[in-house]
Amino acid sequence: MPEQDFAHVTTWVFDLDNTLYPPEVRLFDQIELRMTDWVMRALKVDRARADHLRAHYWQTYGTTLAGLMREHDVDPGPYLTEVHDIDFSVLSPDPALARSLARLPGRRIIYTNACAPYAEKVLAARGLAGLFDAIYGVEHADFHPKPDAAAFATVFARDGLDPTRGAMFEDDSRNLAVPHRLGMRTVHVAPSPDPADHIHHHTPDLAGFLARLVE
């Protein structure tokens, strides 16, 4: 991995779920269950239908919330509070990741399709609190989710980020297409690669990847 690929980077943008913690802890399983429960109650459908809609809206709109807002005019505030009220004890601190993040030159920010208060809890459980200059949730994108180009435009404008001097780390390869088009260096963080023209690098080990950058 040529270090010079990142020599120009002054802003490091990280997704949260399944990126700053390993997917095998299955934290998002808890959220998906709460999403399904919420859809059952709000739309008065059975569990099978609610689970189908949860997945369908995620695939179609980028997040379940985006579909609920678009098709059912759902108020995002109570939804976000409820679905992210989960058990964080399955997460453990990652000192190696913390060290590598702390050594990155420039600004470090979180940009997640979840909400910022939830992101803060995840970071605390992972021992990563205080390492980021800004945390942006879907609420900071006017509830437009990644991979929507408008969502990136809103958050990046709010941050003052120059995409041509940024790098984006994501577990969902769909969410790297717009950053690539904007001129960012893109890194797919996932157990298996997803070959695509908009992905510059792949790693199953974020801490190890970053360690090689800051050696």
In sequence order, what E strands does 54-203 have?
Answer: 107-111, 134-136, 166-170, 185-189, 201-203
**Rounded Cα–Cα distance for residues 23 and 11 (Å):** 25
CATH architecture, domain 27-83 = Orthogonal Bundle (1.10)
The structural domains of the chain, with segments of one domain joined by +, span 3-22+91-214, 27-83
Average the pLDDT over 125-132 and give the result: 98
Residue 89: Cβ within 10 Å count: 7
Nearest to 17 by CA among 127, 172, 141: 172
Q: Residue 109, by phi and psi: left (phi above 0), alpha (psi -120 to 50) or beta?
A: beta
d(CA 213, CA 35): 37
Q: For all residues of the chain together, what is the average pLDDT?
A: 95
CATH code of the region 3-22+91-214: 3.40.50.1000
Tell me the one-letter amino acid at 125: A
- At 63, is the pLDDT very low, low, confident or very high (cuts 50, 70, 90)? confident
pLDDT tens-place string over residues 185-210: 999 999 999 989 999 999 999 999 99
Fold match, 3-22+91-214 / 27-83: no
pLDDT of amino acid 62: 82
Q: Which helix (H) or strand (E) holds 212?
A: helix 206-214
